[in-house]
């Protein structure tokens, strides 16, 4: 039984338009996954997510293990039922926390041992336990445990991270048993293209149903990421989905698509919304700024999201000035609508063999900075 199926519908240069089927939802790629780290996309309901056009969301192994616990979620019917989401779910393995919580963990080939950032208790993550947790969660797509080094790590540290990532991928592959869940491997190597290619080659030999590029947006420059992205994607199988982890400015999404990436996630649209910042076709806006307090127009006149159909910039400015919780919710809805619309437009451009022109037009209209 294949847990997922992937079909390429069109290509335009390296850019790919595909269709990914999972047990809970079939959707087209390139696709953006809203981040629901702790079984919720902050500020919006599952019904609102569906109305925005989201097909797949991301949850996190480390955070869900700490609370409420993967076994409790399994007892309650799995993550889909627990969070009342009938679309697809991808769960991150906790590998990014190996990087982001470096001060709270100890790592060996056997395991990563964390001190909980919540209460200080110890949590041990082995490749086998990471798989068991994700099988308890019941996500459609699970991720191998990997080591994500900082972008500025020296070559010895980077090589060791690649070696450990490959070893852990082998152990994850051997431990994985759930036939209705696809397991993706993660390619590491920083901005060293040679290391990336070697890591990918080792993982491709294991024949995973999909592959991710991890270890980007962890301190390297944009130019360094761009230089490594396309060569790294090129060595992955053309008939399997490719996922760029945690990289999510609009320009990054288009650059990723141009490099042959199919799936993206990032907290940026939801996090920025909570700070009164929105994305538009003309660049970002900061709705706390005084210039918006008498503006009776929507965030974007041609956006059909709930927020833009019903509320003015002046009202949204007021909500943040008054510290009303509705403000972050409404801006989250708009930002997610913007990201999901950008993906739809990219898919159409690829199908019509005009992606390069589309990308250039977007870059030309996005302004630098916020207003």
Q: Which residues are catalytic?
A: 92, 265
184 DSSP β-pair partners: 143, 210
Pairing outcome for strands 112-115 and 210-213: unpaired
Residue that the structure tokens 């969301």 belong to: 57
Q: Sign (positive/negative) of CA torsion 291, 366, 252, 57?
A: positive
Any idea of the CA torsion for 229, 234, 237, 239, to the nearest 10 degrees? 90
Q: What angle do CA 203, 206, 209 make, to 5 degrees?
A: 90
Helix (H), strand (E) at residue 330 = helix 326-351
Q: What is the per-residue DSSP string for 186-205?
A: EE--TT-HHHHHHHHHHHHH
Token pair listed for 152: 């500025």
CA distances from 370 to 97, 141, 277, 282, 302 (A): 30, 36, 8, 10, 20
């Amino acid at each position: 039984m294949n847990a997922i199926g992937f079909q390429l519908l069109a290509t335009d240069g390296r850019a790919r338009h595909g269709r990914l089927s999972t047990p809970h939802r079939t959707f087209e790629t390139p696709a953006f996954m809203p981040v629901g780290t702790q079984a919720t996309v902050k500020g919006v309901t599952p019904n609102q997510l569906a109305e925005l056009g989201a097909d797949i969301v991301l949850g996190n192994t480390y955070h869900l293990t700490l609370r409420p616990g993967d076994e409790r979620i399994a007892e309650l019917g799995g993550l889909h039922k627990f969070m009342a989401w009938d679309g697809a779910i991808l769960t991150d393995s906790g590998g990014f926390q190996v990087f982001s919580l470096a001060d709270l963990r100890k790592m060996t080939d056997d395991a990563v041992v964390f001190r909980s950032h919540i209460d200080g208790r110890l949590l041990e993550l082995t490749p086998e336990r990471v798989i068991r947790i994700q099988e308890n969660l019941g996500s459609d797509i699970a991720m191998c445990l990997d080591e994500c080094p900082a972008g500025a790590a020296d070559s010895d540290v980077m090589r060791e991270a690649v070696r450990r990532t490959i070893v852990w991928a082998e152990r994850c592959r051997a431990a994985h048993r759930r036939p209705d869940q696809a397991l993706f491997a993660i390619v590491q190597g920083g901005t060293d293209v040679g290391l990336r290619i070697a890591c990918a080659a080792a993982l491709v030999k294991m024949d995973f149903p999909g592959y991710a590029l991890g270890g980007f947006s962890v301190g390297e420059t944009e130019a360094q990421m761009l230089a490594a992205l396309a060569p790294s994607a090129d060595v992955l199988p053309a008939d399997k989905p490719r996922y760029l982890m945690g990289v999510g400015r609009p320009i990054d999404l288009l650059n990723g698509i141009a490099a042959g990436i199919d799936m993206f996630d990032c907290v940026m649209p939801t996090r920025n919304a909570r700070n009164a910042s929105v994305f538009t076709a003309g660049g970002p806006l900061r709705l706390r700024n005084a210039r918006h307090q008498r503006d009776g127009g929507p965030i974007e006149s041609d956006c059909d999201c709930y927020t833009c159909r019903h509320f003015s910039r002046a009202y949204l400015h007021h909500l943040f000035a008054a510290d009303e919780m509705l403000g972050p919710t409404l801006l989250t809805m708009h930002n997610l609508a913007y990201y999901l619309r950008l993906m739809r437009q990219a898919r159409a451009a690829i199908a019509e063999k005009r992606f390069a022109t589309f990308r250039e037009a977007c870059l030309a209209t996005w302004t630098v900075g916020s207003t």
